[in-house]
Structure 1
């Protein structure tokens, strides 16, 4: 058994297709199939159930793939640590980011990081704050940029506060509140709202603010990205509460949108989080680029 065989097995398990797995591994399919068959003979078990149309891992294959991923990650880490000992940072850096990140210009950050560490392969993943924090805890991501309701902290990870922000009311031009200097939640509670999906941290920020004020609102439209929310608002389908630091530039470029300050509206905190367990050289390099180094996280 060798690492290449493990890579082949993981590729087949993830693609559920020998041809696509071979393409991913830059090898001809016959060679990949031969190496996996040889591994199955060595182990004395079938790793995959095969038919003319389907390929899926057997119970033995599922168990093998889980351990193989750990072995491959350890091998990659060994290469990265050896390179770091000579002053060269290599390996892989997995970064998570919420779509409304405003405290850090993520594309510019990645540009600066690549300029300093060109041998590191950076992968970017967007998602919900709770999902990204969990991925950092599980070792699937190295760092992540999150946004959580004021007073809520990510657990099980190192966390550094990047910024505090309040939500602004986003209304279509011509709305009765367009041009108002400020409003309260009670003044807008009867409106129709556009918001993020229920149960997400992004939605919780507004839900908690209304609940704390003893108010109930109607969320008629749910969307996963700010761009769609703002387009729905611009068409007059509802109003929205969005982080002001993120939405302000969008509204400045779109005459169909106007922002209004909400006196008792939601607040959020943006965090940088990373794993407490033995961060990789590539992760430590990113923390240095961010100016974090290894100083204690903020409380």
Structure 2
């Protein structure tokens, strides 16, 4: 059993396609398929069910995948630890972030980290807080920036609280409420909204706030990209609620403060296991102290 075979299994499991997995691993598909078939013969079990339309893990594959990930991670960590001991940080750094990070200048943090550690391969995935937490637990992500409703703590990860902030109503300049003062959520009851998908943490904070005042609003547009939020609002199709910390990115739109705004808490989280040298270096650059890396989640 070889590490490269495990990498191929991980790639196929994540891509659910042999062709895409081969492209990701920079090999021809026949070579990847041959190595996986060889591994299956050695294990005495099929790892994948293949049809003309999809590829799915078998029960044996489901059992093998987390162990393969741990083995590959351990090998990569060992290599990274050796180079770190020699004074050079190498390896990979997978970062997740919500689209509305406001407590940290994410792009600037990546620029600074790359300047200090040019040998680290960085990947960034934008998405929902819940997905990022799952990926950190699974070991496929190192660090993530989350936005959660007050009182909700990320579980199964370590982390610090970055900031708390209020949401404001964002609308087009010609909107009848654009110049309103002292507006509350009741006053938005008849509006059409754009928001994050139902069930996401980014949506929950607004849903909870409206439910608390007995308002059932209409969310006609569910999107993940904040820029598309703004485009829909700009066309007069809807209004939206976004953190006050990021609305300066849309100077052509009107931000209206609310008397009873939804609030959200930004968190920085990482694996409960000891961070890789690359992850530890990135967290250190964000002001996370060494003793916090293995401590229980807390406030910053």
Q: 1:260 aligns with which of 225, 231, 256?
A: 256
Matched, 1:123 2:119: no
Deviation of 1:22 (Å): 4.3
Are the aligned partners of 1:172 and 1:234 in contact in 2 as well (CA < 8 Å)?
yes
Unaligned runs of 5+ in 2: 293-297
Q: 1:38 to 1:235 in 2, by over 3 A?
A: closer
TM-score between both structures, scaled by the size of structure 1: 0.87
Q: 1:78 to 1:219 in 2, by over 3 A?
A: same
Larger Rg over CA atoms: 1
Q: Separation in 1 of the partners of 2:280 and 2:33?
A: 39
Are the aligned partners of 1:284 and 1:293 in contact in 2 as well (CA < 8 Å)?
no
| Mapping of residues 62-211 of structure 1, within 5 Å | 62-211=62-211
| Mapping of residues 4-43 of structure 1, within 5 Å | 4-15=4-15, 20-28=20-28, 31-43=31-43
Q: Deviations over 1:105-148 (max 9, x none)?
A: 11111111111111211111111112212222332211111111
Are the aligned partners of 2:162 and 2:299 in contact in 1 as well (CA < 8 Å)?
no
1:241 aligned residue: 241
Q: Say how many residue pairs are matched.
A: 295
Q: 1:129 to 1:4 in 2, by over 3 A?
A: closer
1:294 aligned residue: 290
Q: 1:279 aligns with which of 269, 275, 280?
A: 275
Q: Deviations over 1:69-119 (max 9, x none)?
A: 221111111111222222221111111100011111111111111111112
Unaligned runs of 5+ in 1: none
Q: CA RMSD in A?
A: 2.6
Q: 1:283 to 1:60 in 2, by over 3 A?
A: same
Are the aligned partners of 1:196 and 1:222 in contact in 2 as well (CA < 8 Å)?
yes
Deviation of 1:184 (Å): 1.3
TM-score between both structures, scaled by the size of structure 2: 0.86
Structure 1: 4+ residue segments shifted above 6 A? 50-55
Q: Separation in 2 of the partners of 1:104 and 1:69?
A: 30
Q: Separation in 2 of the partners of 1:168 and 1:245?
A: 9
